[in-house]
Structure formats: structure tokens, C-alpha cells
Chains A and B, each alone.
Chain A
């Protein structure tokens, strides 16, 4: 089994906050059903939805000093909105789950394998 990160990328305002309540309800139900399927299929390791990107804080070392800045690391049109950490046999299996996730959340999903140390 290999581990994959399925990250959900969303444009600002493209989340459920702007939806009418009944649509939001339906969206949540779809996602909940999918997450149950992922758990029962033995794929789900961990998942989470992140808070809004403007609530992020970046910490870095600059010339020996700790620098703390308000806001996200890289400005871009889309931001990381949440992720699924899954295990799957190969990329095809991972893409199969990604296909279901993008259908449920309505946002593009980036799929990346976790690095396996040599000899593992």
C-alpha cells in the first residue's frame, strides 16, 4: 500500500459559505457519504478541512531572528482548503478516490504520493 495526499484546491468564495442552506446541507451529505465509503474501503487515514487562508500565519528564520507574518505563504488564485490522506495500491486507485472527491466537493483535487525512503 502507498500513501497519497489528495488536496482540495478552492478559489476564494467558492466554498459552501456562499451556498443557500439546503444546498450546503446536500453538499455535506455527499461528502459524508464519500468519507464513510473511504473508511469502509480501508482507504481513509486522515482528513481535514482548513480554516480560511487569510487566517494563516507564516513563521520563518531570517538572519537568526524569528519572523512571524500574517497571511498565507504564497499568494495564488486558489488555496489549499482541505485534504484527505489515504492509502491506495497504486496511482490508479488513488485517482479513483480523487475522482469521487472532486465530484463530491466540486473543486479540483491534486494527487501526490508520499515519498518512500529507499529500502522501505
Chain B
């Protein structure tokens, strides 16, 4: 998924998830569905330039893929035996007959994401399957996104698909009462995909940035399928606010730019507006809505000094009620520091057990610096730099360390 991917590749990415989702329902087998969609795109490559591009390319791919898949199943005379397992009633009916509300096809992508993010699969498998099947990324690309060998990723995908098949993980949309248990892993997978892209924005591997856009695309898809689910709106808002500032988070030399120093005028106003609109209807309750609400406060402040810190502290307090983790407590302490001063913040941060976390040391370093305790600050910057997850962040911390002298 290079930045300069050609339009056909792009079309494949956009349409393949939908086609795979429908074909899994129709043929009842993930591998057969994936292969059929691949074949359909190969046929498209030779046919479309001659016959012209069809109006509804996705429908064309699904119809062609379905024919290929059924041919293959008949040829291998597995036919009904495979078709019996996952497939629901309308398996062999025309998949394109009407596609409005209530039609099974509308829910295919929802079935697919709930299957990919089934809690019986581990998180790595959930994320990999989501990117592969719903995002249409090649195994090689999924591997690159998570810094593992292609063979390792291929194995991970094979194992996950084998578990879905042998344990009979169903291809269905969970019922309402199951959602509190089933929705969080879906949202967590999308969030992880975004973060995998965002944490490496500072690296030299530019192709990885696409993961952020892929996560937003997936989140928009889930939102369109579950428009009323507050946490889905919350996650989408959070991603949009974060994305609105991504370009200003990195300086020309690749080092990190703190929120305090970012060029606010360059934040993407359209994304921010969309984020605000998603949050508006009700007071934030779930963890993603709360995180989004915090980002909304930052997005609304014209300057760092104008930030409504007491509001942010209040939102972190609400988050601590849901998830009392030391990382959230640290972020609350940082916000409180802007209201009550660095000494108060440092006292709170020092009480946390976050030794292995580089941002814990970076936070301490910043607070110590502001308190004029430069030797302690230098030591904290050194520890933070040694634990930094990317070169960009390490460079940033080392630059800060040099400024102390």
C-alpha cells in the first residue's frame, strides 16, 4: 500500500472487503471467498478496459466472484458439504437482488467485522484478519504494518481462519444483548490499526501512514452500519480529532512537535468540525466518547493557553471511574498541572507505578524542568529517550535534554 498506489489497486482495496464479506455468506468459506474475489479482479483487469467499467463495480465483482466460487465448489464436489456450515438460508439466491434496509447483504460487512474481532480470537489475529479481509490489504502489507515477517503473518492468518472454521465461529451480527461484550474488541481493533499508523508517522517508512486512513475508513464503515451506537461515534470522533493534527505533530526534520508548539492554524478544520458534530447529541459516557471529548476541548482552543484545562481534568475524572489505570491518572495529573502548577502534578505523577513507560519519564522530565530541577530533569530525559518507541520520539527527547544545558 504505497502512497502512489494506482487507481485499480485503490478500487480493489475499497471494494474487496465488501465483496469478500458477501461471498463468505454466499459460499460459507473464507478462503474460497478470498480466492474468488481475487479471481474476479483479475478478470476485471482484462475485461473492463475492453468492455468499459461497469456502473456498479462492487456488484460486478460480487456476481463474478460468486460464479467462480460456486464453479470451484462444484468442481471440487465439496458443494453442499461446505455450503452447509456457515451459510444461512438464502445462500444461493441472487446476492444482488435489492440491497436496502433489512437485506442480508447490507449486514455482510458487519458480520465480517464481528467475525474478525470475535473475542475467541487473540487481539493480533483480530487486527490481522480485519486488515486482510475487510481492509483488503495483502498479507505482505499487514505484516509490514506490524513489523513481523510475512511468513509469520501468513501463519497467524492461517491459524485464525482455521480456528474460525474448526471452532465454528458463526458468521452473524450479534444480538443487541451481546453488544456490550462484542463491540469493544471491534473498536479496539480499529483503534490499534490507527495507532500502528500514527506511532510510526515519525519513521521513514511513509507507507505506514496509510494505516491511519484505513482505520478511519473502517470506522466510518462501522459507523454507517451502526449509526446510533455512541461508542462508535466516539471512536470516529477521536480518530478524526487526532488525524486533524497529524501533519503538525512532526517537524520537517522528523522530530515530534508537542501540542503546546503545534501550528494550530494548520489543523484540519473539516475533520475537527466532523468530530464535533459526532459528539454533539449527548454527554460523553463511554471511554472513546470521553477521549474524544478531551480532544474536542483541545481542538476548540485557539491557543495552548486558552485550553479549558478544568474541563479536561473533569473528563479524565470520568475516565478514571470507568478505567482506573495509571496512564489515565498520569494524563489527568498533566492536565491538573496546567491549573494547579507543576509541583502538584509532579507529586501525583511520582506516586504512579509506570517505570517501564517512556512517557512517564518524559512527563517527569518536563515537570522537573519547569520546577528548575535541571539535573533531575536531565536524568529523566535520558531514561525516557532510552525507552522511546521510535527514532522521532527519541530525537525529540534528546533535543530537549540538550536544551537543558
Contact = CB atoms under 8 A, between A and B. Distances in A.
Interface of A: 2, 89-92, 95, 111-113, 115, 118-120
Contact of A90 (B78, B81, B170, B178): B170
Given A2-B168, A115-B166, A91 B81 contact: no
Interface residues of B, number: 12
B167 A113 contact: yes
Contacts of A89: 168, 170
Nearest to A114: B166
B78 A119 contact: yes
Nearest to A112: B167
Contacts of B339: none
A115 B168 CA distance: 11
Contact of A91 (B78, B170, B174, B178): B170
Contacts of A91: 118, 120, 167-170
14 contacts: A90-B168, A90-B169, A91-B118, A91-B120, A91-B167, A92-B169, A92-B174, A92-B178, A95-B120, A112-B167, A113-B168, A115-B166, A118-B81, A119-B78
A112 B167 CA distance: 7
Given A91-B120, A95-B120, A120 B81 contact: yes
Interface of B: 78, 81, 118, 120, 166-170, 172, 174, 178
A119 B81 contact: yes
List of 8 A-B pairs having minimum Cβ-Cβ separation, nearest first: A90-B170, A90-B168, A113-B167, A91-B167, A91-B169, A2-B168, A119-B81, A91-B168
Given A2-B168, A90-B170, A91-B170, 13 more contacts: A90-B169, A91-B118, A91-B120, A91-B167, A91-B168, A92-B169, A92-B170, A92-B172, A111-B167, A113-B167, A118-B81, A119-B81, A120-B81
